[in-house]
Amino acid sequence: MAAIIGGAIVGVSTIGSSLFGASAAKDAARRQAAQRKAEQDRAFANQAAQTAYAAEFSNQMIDQYNKRTTEEYDIRIGQYKEQLRLNNQAAVGAFAAEQVRLNEQFAKAAFDRQSMLKELYRAQGVAAASGSGRASKSAKRAALLNTLGEFGRANQMLNRNLMSARRASKSRMDSLAGKHYQGDLSAWSKIAIAPRMMTPKTGAGPNLASPVAAMSVPGIGFGDIAAATLSGISAGVGAYVTGGGDFNAQTPQSAFVRR
């Protein structure tokens, strides 16, 4: 009887030890899981902070670039407008100078024609005041024809010169207009293509390694109790068999006290 009781005590003690060991192991597993979870949370927080800082820094740099680019383009537009004003001023001055030159040529031609008319009138007066007689009339008529012929040739030459001057003036005016257009086109080419602004990156953004939930460690369950019970039964049966009925010889004093 004592051997049976001793085996039972050994079995119960073994069950208790097994359950206590299982509980301690599960507590240690929970601590390790919590520690790993805390490390993963810290790594995720650091990664998220670095990603946010990089994105903010990139946006600040983009804003600065766009601001500087806009300011530079505004300056180029101001220079373009000033160049147009200078081109127009130069063209107006050149056109006016060319028109003055043509007017002077026509004024000189008018003055020359007036002098020719005066000379013609003087010659006609001289011919009219010459002597009478048939010979005198023939000479007078010849002199008059000669004078009119000279006047006609001179007047025709003068008209040709004026036509040539007009064509030359028109050619120079066209050349000035072409230079004016070329100057405006050259100024426009510097601002024709507006600078391209930078925009923040779009999309899903960087992939952050999201921390996983802490590993769940269950408490003492039916399986643990069943394993501990089987272990205790085995230990109790082994103690009973090994003791051969004399439990005091095989069992420590602290485990069984005989009355």
- The model's pLDDT over 135-179, given as tens digits with 9 standing for 90+, comes to 455 555 555 556 677 777 888 888 899 999 999 999 999 999 999
Q: CB–CB of 80/190 below 8 Å? A: yes
Token output for 215 = 């590993």
Total-model pTM: 0.52
DSSP secondary structure letters along 20-87: HHHHHHHHHHHHHHHHHHHHHHHHHHHHHHHHHHHHHHHHHHHHHHHHHHHHHHHHHHHHHHHHHHHH
- What is the pLDDT, as a whole number, of residue 8? 56
pLDDT at 258: 39
The ranges assigned to domains in the chain are 2-192+220-250
**Range 5-10 average pLDDT:** 57
d(CA 92, CA 130): 57
Residue percentage of the chain with pLDDT more than 90:
29
Model confidence at 100, in pLDDT bands (50, 70, 90)? very high
Cα separation, 133 vs 138, in Å, equals 9
Question: What is the model's pLDDT at position 131?
Answer: 52
Q: Which residue has tokens 């069950």? A: 15
178-189 residues labelled b (16+ CB within 10 A) or e (exposed): eebeebbeebee
**Spacing of C-alpha 104 from chain mean position:** 58
Dump pLDDT digits (tens) for 48-85: 888 888 888 888 999 999 999 999 999 999 999 999 99
Name residue 27's amino acid.
D
The greatest distance separating any two alpha carbons of the chain, rounded to the nearest whole angstrom, comes to 200
pLDDT for residue 143: 59
pLDDT of residue 257: 38
Q: What is the predicted pLDDT for the residue at 145?
A: 58
